[in-house]
Structure 1
């Protein structure tokens, strides 16, 4: 237990200071930085070899935190949040653009938010005090890692800290775009809508 506490404190400290961590979630291993540190976000995009025009998902620790970033969430967004969070559903909706750095939004006016059902990452986000980026811990286009043994050693060498742990669901989140009506499923994953 004490060991886990120290690992969480280390992860929180690294992210607070603009570092990059790899961490377990309910769905898959993620890689992240705090979303309000633009240099760290740019570094993560470069490290993952992801085009800056492709948005990245953001992880929050609570519904309240999500509501700070979504702009006037619709009835359907609020329903999905209530029914499926915490859990494997990433919800894309209009966001408060001034709070979300452009590359995270892929240059658009929406953001994909998710509240994972995994105590480790929820504690890290809470400790940092702001959402963190949450794409899968891989180079863009590579297979999704569901255990530490799936992690690419080259990627592991490039980050500041790897939080040990297990994924519980071991499949990617479902991604739903609620910025359009009717809503559109972008990726079918852990949650069936």
Structure 2
């Protein structure tokens, strides 16, 4: 069960440096125990849950009113974690990782069983500290109900979810209002599947250099 037993979403202000690591530890414990935690990234606020906890995943989809066919993104804290989840990484993917990570690019990697996995390494210390401290695979999505604009501050997260999530790490407004760009790598080909803050032309120009 999530460690927030009050059934009221608790806001933890990580701008207070005296309480920073205490807040990170509380939120990380909540993730390990099946809770839903909102946190800032360099683009918009995200919601995170334990990737391998079916009940937490179900709660997240219900809170977001998200269609079941829409994927979640695995968010990592260190680039070396990619191979733990995605296996062998293609040269095209390596080029993108070297150029844009940490940053607002999510990459869909093919897996040996024919499925795939979407991974992102955020350029935000709060997000990375949370994931690293939780020490679990963290599945994420943007902090908004389906079909509505993503949250760019803690008050918007609260307005969307009331008491449906457990904790919000309040890092203040995000520097961007645009979502991350999502690309899919298959058979050495890069396809942009969601346009975001990194323009497709920037990605294409990056790949032309190699």
Tell me if both proteins adopt one fold, taking TM over 0.5 as the criterion: yes
**1:35-114 correspondence runs (5 A):** 35-95=51-111, 109-114=115-120
**1:133-172 correspondence runs (5 A):** 133-166=139-172, 167-172=174-179
Deviations 1:79-126 (A, max 9, x none): 1111111000000111366xxxxxxxxxx7111100000001100100
Deviations 1:41-90 (A, max 9, x none): 12211221112211111211111112111132211111111111100000
CA RMSD of the aligned region, Å?
A: 1.7
How much does 1:154 deviate? Answer: 4.6
| Residues 30 and 36, structure 2, Cα contact 8 Å, conserved in 1 | yes
Of residues 44, 47, 52 in structure 2, which corresponds to 1:31?
Answer: 47
Give distance in 1, aligned partners of 2:97 and 2:108: 11
SS in 2 for 1:39: helix
Q: Give the gaps of 5 or more residues in structure 1.
A: 98-107
TM-score, normalised relative to structure 1: 0.88
How much does 1:4 deviate? Answer: 1.6
Q: 1:96 to 1:59 in 2, by over 3 A?
A: farther
Q: 1:59 to 1:96 in 2, by over 3 A?
A: farther
Give distance in 1, aligned partners of 2:91 and 2:129: 28
Say which one has the larger Rg.
Answer: 2
Give distance in 2, aligned partners of 1:78 and 1:15: 29
Give distance in 1, aligned partners of 2:148 and 2:95: 33
**1:123-138 correspondence runs (5 A):** 123-138=129-144
Q: Give the gaps of 5 or more residues in structure 2.
A: 1-16, 204-210
How much does 1:169 deviate? Answer: 3.1
Q: Which has the higher strand share?
A: 2
TM-score, normalised relative to structure 2: 0.81
Aligned residues: 183
Of residues 175, 182, 189 in structure 1, which corresponds to 2:189?
Answer: 182
